[in-house]
């Protein structure tokens, strides 16, 4: 069948019907492991340090990165790290971006918080280009780091989705997870209030009160159009003919996973 050039190709792509949409409950090797919990020490994870000079200075890393090209949470300056795991294509992460931006501004304008708190974002499943696109689109004022191979998710046990936010408090033994929040915060003020509580409260009591982290099970979602297969085929065929494809044939294809398109 001869395929026309230009925008018509895009119309063809929009006609592909997917019967089953799978969202992996864990995309990395650590997906089946124990999810990090309040009271746990943050793992000895090495963040890539390909940061701009202002970002490195904000995190207090200018004289700590050396030639290793990596840094740990313990290397970040301050008493508390707000660590946000996001994904460029996650709708909830897009909703969360303005909330984090405003929370950052509230912290930066408070002398008591600005010297103690640092924000850091990690784009899980995103490369450097995609992370930059996200940062530019939402004018994110704090450093964002790519994690294309989902290494951080593996290290944390994988919550099953994003956004996933950890509040890490510095102790003599390392950075302790004080709160692990899945989803979008209700408001910037709620996030900042949590930051204040974590900074001022007794660590043992706060950990005891903190709700446990839970893995979100999004292993499978089925999309079932309210039409029979024959009716769907008839509609797709009619649409393709209107788009100028002439005689067309439609058939299902079984993927190696067992799903059909």
238 pLDDT higher than 90? no
Sign of CA dihedral 99, 101, 104, 105: negative
Q: What pLDDT, on a 0 to 100 scale, did the predictor assign at position 29?
A: 32
Angle between helices 188-200 and 91-108 (to 10 degrees): 60
DSSP 164-184: EEEEEEEETTEEEEEEEEES-
Mean pLDDT throughout 236-260?
Answer: 75
Mean pLDDT throughout 81-87?
Answer: 98
18 φ, ψ (degrees, to nearest 5): -105, 120
Number of helical H runs and strand E runs in the chain: 9, 9
DSSP-derived letter for residue 75 is G
10 pLDDT higher than 50? no
Q: What pLDDT, on a 0 to 100 scale, did the predictor assign at position 33?
A: 65
Q: Which residue has the higher pLDDT, 79 or 2?
A: 79
Residue with tokens 């089946």: 32
pLDDT in tens, 153-165: 889 998 888 999 9
- CB count within 10 Å of CB 150 equals 20
- CB count within 10 Å of CB 1 equals 8
Residue 236: pLDDT band with limits 50, 70, 90:
confident
Mean residue pLDDT across the chain: 81
Q: Which residue has the higher pLDDT, 11 or 182?
A: 182
Residue with tokens 């302790």: 176
Q: What pLDDT, on a 0 to 100 scale, did the predictor assign at position 135?
A: 98
pLDDT in tens, 140-198: 999 999 999 999 988 999 888 899 999 999 999 999 999 999 999 999 999 999 999 99
**What spatial distance separates the first Cα and last Cα of the chain, rounded to whole Å?**
20
């Amino acid at each position: 069948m001869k395929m026309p050039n230009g925008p018509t190709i895009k119309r063809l792509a929009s006609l592909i019907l997917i019967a089953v949409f799978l969202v992996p409950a864990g995309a990395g090797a650590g997906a089946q492991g124990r999810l990090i919990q309040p009271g746990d020490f943050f793992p000895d994870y090495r963040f890539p340090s390909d940061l701009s000079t202002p970002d490195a200075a904000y995190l207090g890393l200018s004289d700590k990165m050396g030639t290793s090209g990596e840094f740990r949470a313990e290397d970040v300056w301050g008493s508390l790290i707000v660590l946000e795991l996001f994904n460029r294509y996650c709708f909830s992460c897009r909703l969360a971006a303005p909330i984090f931006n405003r929370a950052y501004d509230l912290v930066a304008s408070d002398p008591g918080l600005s010297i103690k708190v640092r924000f850091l974002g990690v784009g899980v499943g995103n490369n450097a280009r995609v992370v930059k696109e996200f940062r530019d689109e939402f004018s994110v004022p704090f450093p964002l780091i790519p994690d294309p191979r989902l290494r951080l998710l593996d290290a944390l046990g994988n919550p099953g989705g994003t956004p996933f936010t950890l509040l890490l408090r510095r102790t003599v033994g390392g950075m302790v997870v004080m709160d692990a929040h899945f989803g979008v915060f209700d408001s910037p003020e709620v996030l900042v209030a949590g930051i204040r509580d974590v900074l001022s409260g007794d660590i043992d009591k706060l950990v005891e009160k903190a709700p446990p982290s839970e893995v979100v099970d999004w292993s499978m979602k089925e999309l079932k159009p309210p039409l029979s297969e024959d009716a769907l085929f008839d509609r797709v065929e009619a649409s393709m003919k209107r788009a100028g494809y002439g005689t067309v044939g439609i058939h299902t294809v079984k993927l190696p996973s067992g799903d059909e398109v």
